Chains A and B, each alone.
Chain A
């Protein structure tokens, strides 16, 4: 038994660290929260329907089998029943469509944003531009992960901090501020996704998409590219550092000073 558990631990490296996350994160923005609520609502509805349908099936399998001597009934149609199970699912769907539509209207409303962050996807890194403050920098996978991820690198990736989820330059954003995120790409289609900040949008070369975030809690939020963009698609992480407004403005002024220094 001991041997077995040692074997299991070596096969499933993270059992000890209990990384058995099974659900969508609730996140820290209004959009991620509403996505989570809709997700849970529809999930519970499908669970209830599932219990009813599979329950009826299981009952039938147990009691209506030949081996317990059940004789087949003769019925094979009933317009009444058919109408019932066409109309009821339809009504349930209408019931689900209403909150989903309202959520969508809220999610697509980027008006009254205070800050505009432009994100450009490259093979294979991101460029961030703060339109109002004229700050611009690239952000790519950090060196440690990038070395460890090579084929047969010999590095134990479980020992690398935030393996594949860390970058050289963090995106810094203020909390409690509506930020408009513009998305475009330089070469192929990418998608910018940080689960805890809500959904993703595609970054399409030649076109600009937009989404918005309004981060409620300071913290570091990690994500990655979500649209196949070539061989290193799996290696372009995103890290957003959310800080209180004052700290954000401090960061902005440091960036600007650095830029002036660079230009000299």
Chain B
């Protein structure tokens, strides 16, 4: 951004230029930008791994990689996409948007903010470097189930240490978000007047500080089991491998909502803007988000119905899981009601948001199917599950992130992106995402387990289609990168209020906003 503005606004402390500006920055916009770029890079690294997987699965028989390396790819793909791409992208959006949406000058704890970002590149360098170890990277799946994960090579302590660092970074980020939202809102902005994106992030941040420490505990126990002779998870010492799964998914299920609640916030912001109508049922949206978050702590065992739980346990977790469909349904209905009798236009952010609703709902349907334990005994650990969680994470979380970037990019940069290219990007992405993940439902139901490098000939056709789709999806994202750079080069400046239907404090600022957003707090009616 322009150095002139920095000088004008930043007279009370020195701002270094060049690379040092980014390393030492405590400014929420700079840190937000860093997070977003970092997440984009990770998205492509994780994506490359996905393409290795899809290339190998293009045809039956092993053509490219050995099974051990294939398992490293699936493990790393998941770790990188979850902790490196989706979570940092949401934190980046939070950094950019929360202060300018609640009328604050910056985040509450700027130095902590800097620290929580700069942990990430080191953590991921360490994690990815394990791929070059002689014994290879982690290959037990991102869920790290013992005893298999205890068999791993030298990579294990390094991966665990890097997950600890990622957890620390997320917790610090979450503390910062909560502190900012609770303490730095503009006068007059009561909690129930907050923008919905801020609400979803507040709830997400609470989930983060409740869930990440549990993951830290679980992987610490793994580490001590492996190196310090404890036996939390080994049957020979009176431990139980299933205990790990319980602790892991006690973290894991809230984690799933950490990955989707901010996406709900984004879609709930974009749909009203382009429908030119207020969000339907703001209050119930807030309550629905909160109840989804609370329910997320009592459904974890639905990830592990096949471990052999007592009947009562299976029934309990089936019912609580089904219950989640109620608040989630409320959200979907409210989005449709917001669009209903609006005055809609279909710019790129709106297109991605609509695709989000449709495709996320499909993912929700398969989720509901998976909740039915008798059928889940068949679905569990098959490609049906892979299809399900990719539907909620790719056209779910990732589409929401892309929609948010298109929606706020003109505000951040002061330049308008190329709308025709944006639409092209949307259509390519949406077609290919379905081509990739929809056939996975079929092979899963027909009996193909997940996490296998090679498969029986009867699964060949749908796998070939999915692989074609995956390469198309990957290539389409290069267009996204082109659009981002193209936007920065545009000559015409964007207006302050980029979208005529948009509401919120961020649109009262100039485009791009000043280095320190609200030096004087705005008044909210």
Contacts and interface: CB of A to CB of B under 8 A. Distances in A.
Contact of A57 (B280, B311, B339, B442): B339
A150 interface: yes
Interface string A80-112: 011001100110010011001101110110000
Contacts of B341: 60, 64, 70, 72-73, 75
A145 to B, nearest CB: 9
B224 interface: no
Name the residue among A22, A61, A227 with the largest chain B CB count within 10 angstroms. Answer: A227
A12 B275 CA distance: 43
B374 A93 contact: no
Contact of A11 (B332, B441, B464): B464
B279 interface: yes
B194 interface: no
Interface stretch (B7-15, B63-71, B90-98, B185-193): B63-71
Secondary structure of the B contact surface, majority rule = helix
A11 B58 CA distance: 9
B276 A204 contact: no
Nearest to A13: B460
A39 B458 CA distance: 22
A31 B453 CA distance: 29
Contact of B456 (A43, A165, A189): A165
Contact of A60 (B139, B140, B242, B344): B344
Residue from the set B148, B277, B332 with the largest chain A CB neighbour count within 10 Å: B148
A24 interface: yes
A254 interface: no
Interface stretch (B30-38, B161-169, B172-180, B375-383): B375-383
B314 A71 contact: no
A158 interface: yes
A76 B452 contact: no
B378 A198 contact: yes
Given A50-B361, A233-B452, A195 B447 contact: yes
A205 B326 CA distance: 38
Interface in A174-213: 183, 187-189, 191, 193, 195, 198-202, 204-207, 209-210
B59 A35 contact: no
Interface stretch (A132-140, A218-226, A241-249): A218-226
A77 B280 contact: yes
Contact of A39 (B372, B442, B450): B372
A227 B381 contact: yes
Given A76-B278, A152-B62, A202 B456 contact: no
A202 B461 contact: no
B62 A226 contact: no
B496 interface: no
B342 A189 contact: no
A264 interface: no
Nearest to B375: A39
Contact of B357 (A20, A57, A202): A57
B505 interface: no
A42 B60 contact: no
Given A76-B278, A188-B148, A149 B308 contact: no
Given A104-B311, A193-B449, A53 B284 contact: no
Interface string B326-342: 10011011101111111
A15 interface: yes
A225 B372 CA distance: 22
Contact of B373 (A13, A15, A56, A104): A104
B322 A231 contact: no
A19 interface: yes
A61 B336 CA distance: 10
Contacts of A34: 374
B453 A42 contact: no
Contacts of A230: 71, 139, 148, 151
Contacts of B457: 13-14, 19, 157-158, 163
Interface string B263-293: 0000000000001111111111000000000
Interface stretch (B251-259, B362-370, B393-401, B413-421): B362-370
A162 B456 contact: yes
A80 to B, nearest CB: 11
A151 B63 contact: yes
B461 A97 contact: no
Contacts of B277: 72-74, 76
B308 A201 contact: yes
Contact of A188 (B151, B346, B458, B459): B151
B388 to A, nearest CB: 12
B524 interface: no
B82 interface: no
A153 interface: yes
Contacts of A183: 308
Nearest to B329: A89
Contacts of B236: 206
Given A81-B337, A155-B61, A233-B451, A64 B342 contact: yes
B295 interface: no
A28 B47 CA distance: 40
A234 B453 contact: yes
A155 B60 CA distance: 11
B240 interface: yes
B23 interface: no
Contact of A206 (B235, B306, B332, B453): B235
A66 interface: yes
A66 B453 CA distance: 49
B128 interface: no
A35 B330 CA distance: 28
A46 interface: yes
Interface in A45-75: 46, 49-50, 53-54, 56-57, 60-61, 64-67, 70-75
24 contacts: A14-B458, A21-B442, A23-B446, A25-B446, A32-B378, A35-B378, A38-B374, A46-B369, A53-B336, A66-B343, A72-B275, A72-B342, A89-B326, A89-B329, A93-B326, A151-B66, A163-B456, A207-B235, A225-B449, A226-B382, A227-B381, A228-B148, A228-B450, A231-B71
Given A12-B465, A20-B442, A164-B454, 19 more contacts: A12-B461, A13-B461, A19-B460, A23-B445, A31-B374, A34-B374, A35-B375, A38-B372, A38-B375, A60-B339, A66-B276, A72-B343, A76-B282, A97-B319, A105-B311, A151-B65, A188-B148, A201-B377, A230-B151
Top 9 nearest A-B pairs (CB, nearest first) are A199-B377, A206-B235, A234-B452, A209-B308, A76-B278, A46-B365, A73-B341, A157-B61, A21-B446
